[in-house]
Amino acid sequence: MRKTTTTPRARRLAAAAVALGSCLALAAPAGTADAAPADPVPTVFFGDSYTANFGIAPFHEDGERAFCFQATEDYPAVATRRLADKGVTLNVQSDVSCGGALIHHFWNEQELLQPGSGLKVPAQQGALKGDTRLVVGGMGGNTLGFNSILKQCSAKLRDQALLPGAPVDADSPAGECRDFFTSGDGKEWLDYKFEQVEYDLDEMLQRTSYFSPDAERVLVGYPRLVPQDTTKCLSAAPSQTELPFADIPQDALPVLDQVQKRLDDAMKKVAAENGADFVDLYNHTGSNTACDGANRGIGGLLENSMLELGNQPIPWYAHPNEKGRDIQAERVAAKIEEVLNR
């Protein structure tokens, strides 16, 4: 694990030289303007299932990328239209967001579905061009192992083969997950995963600057899943029978929230260190969590999403529904407009 006390610029130069095999000087930031550019802005969207908006139908079904479950109306598409309505035109060169992506899939190819499937998509950094002027998206939850955290806390999710990942320690009962993650091996595992997230996000943002030196970079965080008042999670949402977090113990829900807030803070920190902008969704979605009933912007763990596989509904697994997607799009569009108007 890399340890450094150098400045962000020094880290960027050093890491780029090592990772890309050559000594190079990164270009200076692009010039600012008083108003959003009149010409379309060459843009690349990247990210994981929260960018691809897994669970929202229909999704792109062309070739192997069909298994990325990227919604045709994901938040990049909705945000792009919102901006166009305000006179800000994005020339979307590519949207390479893909369900299941870890941060290292920004520079490594990604195998889809299960290991050994043979279905692969190229590294997301391949979408970056020399003339790209805006790069937007988010990653981090899969590198952190959030699915494993959920499976550690839910016996029902451990039986969900469609949800990738395994519990951190299958021998530890799901009902004891609060204690598992706040002491001993579970806490040590979490600390290590957060170090990995920060390291990989740093690498990703450096690579973005290398391949698209004139691009503005916008890192997008995750919406809040668990409300401050966890008693709201003890009631099923309208028309639902399962609780929003299924069988996860109530005493573990604050731990899940703390983990997510820590992820949000880590992403914000790395973005600042690399001179990138950050969209803080966590602090703007406290009234739209999975436990907010009709106002929920997150589908419950076992609530049926809009997708089916073999005529069987696929659960949301705590991903944004259409309301949540629209919140993502609104916040991202506002940040892009702010960035382009600097």
Residues labelled catalytic: 49, 100, 142, 319
Q: Which tokens belong to 317? A: 């697994």
| Cα dihedral 113/118/119/120 (nearest 10) | 110
| Cα dihedral 173/116/138/320 (nearest 10) | -60
How far is it, in rounded angstroms, from Cα 102 to Cα 142? 5
Say how many CA atoms lie within 13 Å of 55 toward its Cβ.
29
Say which residue the tokens 């009933």 belong to.
293
| 3-class secondary structure per residue, the chain | CCCCCCCHHHHHHHHHHHHHCCCCCCCCCCCCCCCCCCCCEEEEEEECHHHHCCCCCCECCCHHHHHHCCECCCHHHHHHHHHHHCCCCEEEEEECCCCCCCHHHHCCCEECCCCCCCCEECCHHHHCCCCCCEEEEECCHHHHCHHHHHHHHCHHHHCCCCCCCCCCCCCCCHHHHHHHHHCHHHHHHHHHHHHHHHHHHHHHHHHHHHHCCCCEEEEECCCCCCCCCHHHHHCCCCCCCCCCCCCCCHHHHHHHHHHHHHHHHHHHHHHHHCCCEEECCHHHCCCCCCCCHHHCCECCCCCEEEEEECCEEEECCCCECHHHHHHHHHHHHHHHHHHHCC
